[in-house]
A and B are shown apart, each in its own frame.
Chain A
């Protein structure tokens, strides 16, 4: 974990993320009894988007989107460079905030509602993410990802089964999967069309897409951290988890926001807090 991984991340995360998205769409199609698009479809989409006109409602929108991308790359970068986990979490949140701001600038009712829902989602998953940081710290006694990943100690998940499950729960929100694809989803949906991304066109939308790829790779990295120091196992499990998420996506109706928020909090309280309590008492 050093500058090399940092460079690898910046260069290859979009490739990996895009590929994952492509596999995701293909598997989803198969689950739905369809043949599905080519695996490289997400790349075609993005290339197409960069070939389109950029119609913006306000110029600041694009600026916010560039910040969104920049902060996401920064967040992933410091994660894969092995920096401070706390910093990762907060800059991740900051990145997401830029997306919300950009959507608010869009000034259409759909994107406003989408932005509002994005905030509700942030509210829903944030407690669990904080428990994740605390849990990792308590199990490994450090915030430094490099130290967590490289020092020899028993696999973290042995101390953090509750946090692991809780994190999976909110991962569904973060990956924008049904039942928690409230603010936007891969398909425009009936309540709010494309929600938070409604007002973006062409290149801006392409940037958002790429940012999501960075984000997904980062999230999978966060999952594999549970298996430190055996990171290969971690990566394997992370991929398996991604498949599981695809399955869940295809097997659930979309929940209402109330359920999303409260169930996430309950999960955070029971699994997250419970696990931390147990660590404190017996750790």
Chain B
């Protein structure tokens, strides 16, 4: 049953050093406020799972929280590189970060399989790609009915998943609307889950087949207003595309990055 906690307490309770964490949200509803709280609490050696690391993992990696990143597309969407991810992989700053790399299709299926309680996902994938040469977690099986060779990847089963959503009701039932990504899958696949929301309401006021995650499938709900900025929340605020562009210059340099984190995360209080 979802407990309504402060973001600070939710992160303290569920994110430990060494934890495998998935902070999901496909471009939309990225849980930046929660990511910042993880940075503020100085968590270390995290295995960070996310289809698109985006700025949120660029920040966590640069701040030294990550031991390993599992991902399928690690760029700044429409802008260019994630400089902190690159600096860690290419030059080992602030320390070396291990990577495990998939395609989107495989990772989406791996989240789906995790939610479905399966140990593996099977897909028509990776044909002719050299990713299986560098990722020993990509295997191939033979269909017992047709003999077709199909790719198999382990399902994603994070210790903790963190997602952001529009709203929760007082029983902790959560509505996700718009681009729903793999957020529901991330929550259902994880041992524990934290959902940050724009607001808590009396009634979700929704439609028969809405993407609602029941409160009993969630561990903690925390209110984080504008908690996905510079990403966006459908119905609440738009994506701050300008900031995504500005991030390129901020993150390119270790010092400007460190200063940005200091000013905007470390010294910014729990709402940043």
- Say if A and B assemble together: no
